[in-house]
Amino acid sequence: MWSAVIEFITFREPNIRFVVLGSIFMGISAALVGSFAYLRKQALVGDTVSHSVLPGICIAFLCIGTKNTPILLLGAFIAGWLSLLAVDWLIHQTKIKPDSANAVALSTFFGLGVFLLTIIQHTGNAAQTGLDKFIFGNAAALLKNDVWLFLGLALCTIVLVSIFFKHFALLSFDRQFAVSIGYPVKALEVLLTSLTVIAIVCGIQAMGVVLVASLLIAPAVAARFWCYNLKKMLVVACSIGALGGYVGAFISYLAPAMPSGPWIVVALFFIALASFIGAPQKGIWARFRLGQNNKRRVQEENILKYIYSAQEDGLIKEYTITPQCLAELRNNKTLEAIEPYKRLCRKNLAIQKGSAYQLTSKGIEYAKRMVKVHRLWELYLAHYLHLPPDHVHEDAESIEHIITPEIEKQLIQLLDNPSTDPHGKDIPY
User: Residue 384 maps to which CATH number?
Assistant: 1.10.10.10
Does 270 fall in a domain? no
How far apart CA 301 and CA 372 sit, in angstroms, is 12
Q: What does the pLDDT read at residue 374? A: 92
Same domain, 313 and 204: no
Question: Are residue 81 and residue 211 in the same domain, yes or no?
Answer: yes
Q: Is the pLDDT of residue 137 over 70?
A: no
Can you list the pairs that 12-21 forms with residues at least 24 positions away whose Cβ atoms lie under 8 Å? 14/144, 15/140, 16/249, 16/253, 17/147, 18/142, 18/143, 18/144, 18/146, 18/147, 19/139, 19/140, 19/142, 19/249, 19/252, 19/253, 19/260, 20/245, 20/246, 20/249, 20/250, 21/147, 21/150, 21/151
pLDDT band per the 50, 70, 90 thresholds, residue 128? low
Which amino acid, one-letter code, is at 410? Q
349 with 210, same domain?
A: no
Give domain status of residue 428, yes or no: no
- Distance from the Cα of residue 238 to its chain's centroid: 15
320-321/350-353 β-pairing: unpaired
Q: pLDDT band at residue 1, thresholds of 50, 70 and 90?
A: low
With H, G, I as helix, E, B as strand and everything else as coil, classify residue 248. helix
Identify whether 210 is part of a domain. Answer: yes
Residue 225 has pLDDT above 80, yes or no: yes
Which structural domain, as residue segments, surrounds residue 366?
A: 287-414
State the CB neighbour count (10 A cutoff) for residue 155.
Answer: 13
**Percentage of the chain surpassing pLDDT 90?**
34
Alpha carbon distance 153, 35 (integer Å): 16
pLDDT class of 92 with cuts at 50, 70, 90: confident
Name the CA radius of gyration of the chain, rounded: 32
Per-residue pLDDT, averaged over 388-416, amounts to: 86
Whole-number Å distance between alpha carbons of 83 and 320? 74
Judge whether 327 and 310 are in contact, CB under 8 Å. Answer: no
With the CA atoms of 213, 214, 217 and 218 taken in that order, what torsion angle do they form, in degrees rounded to the nearest 10?
-170
Instruction: Give dist(CA 82, CA 109) in Å, integer.
Output: 10
Range in 47-51, 140-144, 198-202, 236-240 the model is least confident about: 140-144
- What string of DSSP letters covers 139-196? GGG--HHHHHHHHHHHHHHHHHHHHTHHHHHHHHH-HHHHHHTT--HHHHHHHHHHHH
What percentage of residues in the chain have a pLDDT greater than 70?
Answer: 95
Give the pLDDT confidence of 287-336 residue by residue, as tens digits.
999 999 999 999 999 999 999 999 998 999 999 999 999 999 999 888 99
- What is the DSSP code (8-state) at residue 348? T
Say yes or no: 28 and 132 in one domain. Answer: yes
- Judge whether residue 136 has pLDDT over 70: no
Instruction: Please say which residue of 175, 196, 216 terminates a domain.
Output: 216
Rounded Cα distance, 141 and 265, in Å:
18
**CA dist., res. 212 & res. 422, Å (int):** 64
| Residue 71, Cβ density class (10 Å: 0-12 exposed, 13-18 middle, ≥19 buried) | middle
Task: For residue 62, give the CATH number of its domain.
Answer: 1.10.3470.10
| 357 is a domain residue | yes
Q: What is the pLDDT of residues 155-191, one digit of tens each?
A: 988 999 999 999 999 988 888 898 898 889 889 988 9
Task: Please state, in angstroms and rounded to a whole number, the distance separating the CA atoms of residues 150 and 69.
Answer: 14
Are 31 and 140 in a shared domain?
yes
Which tens digit of pLDDT belongs to each residue from 409-420?
888 888 888 988
Same structural domain, 166 and 297: no
**Rounded Cα–Cα distance for residues 64 and 408 (Å):** 76
Q: What is the pLDDT of residue 353?
A: 92
Q: Please, how many CA atoms are within 13 Å of residue 51, restricted to the half-sphere of its CB? A: 18
The verdict on 206 and 317 lying in the same domain is no
Q: Which of 216, 244, 270 is the last residue of a domain?
A: 216
Domain identity same for 198 and 303: no
Inside any domain, residue 8: yes
347 domain-assigned: yes
pLDDT value at 285 more than 90: yes
Instruction: Please give the single-letter amino acid code of residue 110.
Output: F
Average pLDDT estimate for 3-20:
76
| pLDDT score for 202 | 79
For the chain, give the mean pLDDT.
Answer: 87
Q: 9 and 109: one domain?
A: yes
pLDDT for 223 beyond 90 = yes
Span 14-19, average pLDDT: 79
Task: State how far Cα 278 lies from the chain centre.
Answer: 12
Residue 418 backbone class (left: φ over 0; alpha: ψ -120 to 50; beta: rest): beta
* Residues forming beta bridges with residue 125, ordered by sequence position: none
At residue 130, the pLDDT reads: 61
- Is residue 335 included in any domain, yes or no? yes
Mean pLDDT along residues 29-49: 87
- End of a domain among 169, 192, 216? 216
pLDDT band, very low/low/confident/very high, at 369 (cuts 50, 70, 90): very high
The more confidently predicted of residues 46 and 34 is 34
Q: Which pLDDT band holds residue 150 (cuts at 50, 70, 90)? A: confident
Terminus-to-terminus CA distance in the chain, angstroms?
72
How many domains does the chain fold into?
2
CA angle 254, 135, 82 (to 5 degrees): 140
pTM: 0.78
pLDDT band of 138, cuts 50, 70, 90: low
129 confidence band (pLDDT: 50, 70, 90): low
Give 252-268 pLDDT, tens digit per residue: 778 766 777 788 888 99
Name the DSSP letter for residue 314. Answer: T
Q: What is the pLDDT of residue 397?
A: 86
Q: Lowest mean pLDDT: which of 26-35, 50-59, 250-259, 403-412? A: 250-259
pLDDT score of 135: 66
Asked if residue 242 belongs to a domain, the reply is: no
